[in-house]
Structure 1
Amino acid sequence: MLIYMIRHGQTDWNAEGRLQGQKDIGLNDTGRAQARHNGETLRTLLADQVEAFDFVASPLSRTRETMQIARTAIGLDPLAYRTDERLVELSFGDWEGHTLDEIRALAPERLKERSRQKWNFIPPGVDAESYEILSWRVAAFLQAVEQPTVCVSHGGVIRSVLKLVGGWNELDAARCDIHQDRVLIIERDHGRVEWL
């Protein structure tokens, strides 16, 4: 199954290095430009096959705006897509809204623990998740994909895809760069994940 996945465009919190998680933060101008660029890339990739594709996004505003801008660049109705809760970013719990430097000042030992076990680390807070927990949601989404799909989601979701489909180890999946200005091609049945 073919999926073109993009991460939402940049937000001010991305630029400041703040953990966003499930906080609903909108795009900044750089993020809107990234979304347009990704839409132009998708227009070329989809060409005359666009009608065969499902379009789905995380319900957070930064992913929905990215999808709407990308669909406009493709030449499609910006609002004709669906959302899926399984694509929401992982929750950083009580750490959301903080930079790593701020967390280091408040809880240096917990941050060291996260550094050692980033994939399985659960931040403090009742709703907090690890990448492993997030990957359960992502796996359910991937299993439900029945047609070629364009998906707009988050960095943690893409990390999960790299591990689940690409077979990446936990350390590499947790620590790699997740681009906001490139399209990730996913061929689930062949284990292919590749940035275009």
Structure 2
Amino acid sequence: MILHLVRHGQSTWNVEHRVQGQTMHPPLTELGREQADLARETLRSVPLMAVLTSDQTRAAQTADIVAQPHRLVPLPTPLLREQALGDLEGRHYDELEPQAIPEGTHISEVRWGHGESLADVAVRMRDLVTLLSAVYPPEAQLALVSHGDALRVLAAVLRGGSHRDVDFEAYPTWPNGHVETFKLS
């Protein structure tokens, strides 16, 4: 199975430098729609069997654009949502203050803002991979439209790693509208 991981286009909260997390409503900007158009063009000739998307507005709008040439209706799933960041969501980046990592805890296991840890997101991503393997044939090509940190965790899972293997160096900024392809073995 081939998975084409797509980060949503720029949202209004990306422009406002707000922590989005699982906030549902921020829509795409005009630039975000252009980035979604580029993702659509990247995947235009790919024989997609399905387009799955986070149910958050910015991802769903991107998925609608990506799915157009394939005449597919995107399938929303909360499994593709961004990492929940609890009471940090909606705050401007410049309002955030550094927080200590609790002693004896790996940074990927901290639930920032009382939201989800990367370990929690990895559980969702493993559930997603299990679901995809059960529902789609091994030769399927799927587009998965999601969010930066969720996609970084999914990439680690697809490489056979865990939440501790998220590669923030290879993907320091998974750009809006970027498509990265992985083979699910």
Q: Same fold (TM over 0.5)?
A: yes
**CA distance in structure 1 between the partners assigned to 2:149 and 2:65 by the alignment:** 22
- Stretches of structure 1 that go unaligned for 5 or more consecutive residues are 190-196
Which runs of structure 2 are paired with 1:2-151 in the superposition (5 Å)? 2-24=2-24, 25-44=26-45, 46=46, 49-50=47-48, 53-72=49-68, 74=69, 76=71, 80-104=73-97, 108=98, 110=99, 112-113=100-101, 117-125=106-114, 128-145=115-132, 146=136, 147-151=140-144
- Any stretches of 5+ residues in structure 2 without a counterpart? none
Measured on the aligned residues, the alpha-carbon RMSD in Å equals 2.2
CA distance in 2 between counterparts of 1:168 and 1:133 reads 14
Question: Which segments of structure 1 move beyond 6 Å, counting only runs of 4 or more?
Answer: none
- Name the amino acid aligned to 1:158: L
Please tell me whether the aligned partners of residues 118 and 174 of structure 1 are also in contact (alpha carbons under 8 angstroms): no
Q: Residues 174 and 131 from structure 1, CA distance in 2 versus in 1: closer, same or farther, beyond 3 angstroms?
A: farther
Aligned pairs, number: 173
Partners in 2 of 1:152 and 1:59 — Cα distance? 10
Equivalence map 1:173-188=2 (5 Å): 173-174=167-168, 176-188=172-184
Which amino acid in the other structure matches residue 186 of structure 1? F
**CA distance in structure 2 between the partners assigned to 1:138 and 1:100 by the alignment:** 26
Question: What TM-score comes out, normalization by structure 2 length?
Answer: 0.83
Cα deviation for residue 129 of structure 1 reads 0.4
Deviation at 1:174, TM superposition (A): 4.4
Structure with greater proportional helix content: 1
Change (3 A) 1:86 1:185: same
CA drift at 1:164: 0.9
Using the alignment, how far apart are the partners of 1:163 and 1:171 within structure 2? 6
> What amino acid maps onto 1:35 in structure 2?
A
